[in-house]
């Protein structure tokens, strides 16, 4: 499919997701948050679902987890602007706690209901590598429960074909209280991103030193 067609289709699907009622999460969320990036991205990153900030701003990974992701992408030599970034579930799931909205993990039914959207993104962007960040993304992309510790660190194939890599969610790194362990896990996360990006391009290093 020509790139301009994919771009137009993605834009239409991204607008259409605002009307999604496939599960009940739309009832309390501010808006649906669709993926973003260039339609010719070679690398796609998939997270869980929008958080509080993403729900308000309508953009993926712009809150605290996004700041960890941005730092990790920079350390891995990956340009966020050249990457398609999305989530397995498009609406924020939360529990009100006073004036705060606490993130709640989407359940199996919500992940399944939302798979249609991420499948369209993978189909239209056709990235050389899809990275599932965390168990929710892995479950959505592979259609089964995946244990991150067992699956990470090696090249995998998606059920409909295409390269995939599994790693932790950036929030996982953010939640580790012990400083030394957090640094260690952060370094592993960066290494996963670097390896995944390395598979997404024949050019391991661009003149700029960036992978992508
Ligand atoms: N966590 C996610 O999984 N996705 C976001 O967009 C933000 C936080």
Domain count, the chain: 1
pLDDT at 205: 43
pLDDT at 212: 73
Rounded CA-CA distance 92/167 in Å is 21
- Confirm whether 64 is domain-assigned: yes
Ligand 1 center to residue 122 CA distance, Å? Answer: 18
Ligand 1 center to residue 106 CA distance, Å? Answer: 12
Ligand 1 center to residue 80 CA distance, Å? Answer: 15
Q: How far is CA 54 from the centre of its chain?
A: 13
- Confirm whether 212 is domain-assigned: no
pLDDT band for position 141 (50/70/90)? very high
Q: Cβ of 183: how many Cβ atoms within 10 Å?
A: 12
Counting ligand 1 atoms within 8 A of each CB, the residue from 31, 37, 44, 54 with the most, and so the one to mutate, is 54
Mean pLDDT of 126-141: 98
- Confirm whether 107 is domain-assigned: yes
Ligand 1 center to residue 58 CA distance, Å? Answer: 11
Tell me, what CATH number does 92's domain have? 3.40.470.10
- Range of 114's domain? 3-205
- Confirm whether 62 is domain-assigned: yes
Residue 59 CA: nearest ligand 1 atom is 6
pLDDT at 1: 72
Strand partners of residue 133: 167
pLDDT band for position 201 (50/70/90)? confident
pLDDT band for position 125 (50/70/90)? very high
- Confirm whether 178 is domain-assigned: yes
The model's pTM is 0.94
- Confirm whether 210 is domain-assigned: no
> Does position 32 have pLDDT exceeding 50, yes or no?
yes
Residues having CB closer than 6 A to ligand 1 are: 47-51, 54, 60-61, 63, 65-66, 87
- Confirm whether 196 is domain-assigned: yes
Burial of 22 by CB count in 10 Å (0-12 exposed, 13-18 middle, 19+ buried)? middle
Mean pLDDT of 33-54: 98
């Amino acid at each position: 499919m020509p790139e301009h067609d994919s771009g137009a289709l993605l834009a239409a699907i991204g607008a259409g997701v605002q009307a999604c009622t496939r599960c009940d999460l739309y009832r309390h969320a501010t808006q649906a948050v669709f993926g973003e990036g260039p339609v010719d991205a070679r690398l796609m990153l998939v997270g869980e679902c929008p958080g509080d900030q993403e729900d308000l701003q309508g953009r993926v990974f712009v809150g605290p987890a996004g700041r960890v992701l941005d730092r990790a992408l920079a350390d891995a030599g990956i340009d966020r602007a050249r990457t398609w970034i999305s989530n397995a579930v498009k609406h924020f799931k939360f529990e009100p706690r006073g004036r705060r909205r606490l993130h709640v993990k989407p359940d199996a039914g919500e992940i399944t209901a939302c798979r249609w959207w991420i499948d369209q993104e993978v189909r239209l962007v056709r990235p050389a590598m899809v990275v599932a960040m965390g168990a929710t993304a892995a479950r959505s992309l592979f259609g089964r429960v995946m244990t991150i510790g067992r699956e990470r660190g090696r090249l995998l194939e998606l059920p409909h074909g295409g390269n995939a890599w599994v790693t932790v969610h950036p929030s996982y790194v953010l939640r580790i209280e012990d400083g030394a362990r957090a640094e260690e896990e952060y370094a592993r996360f960066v290494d996963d991103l670097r390896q995944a990006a390395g598979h997404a391009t024949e050019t391991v290093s661009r003149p700029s030193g960036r992978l992508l």
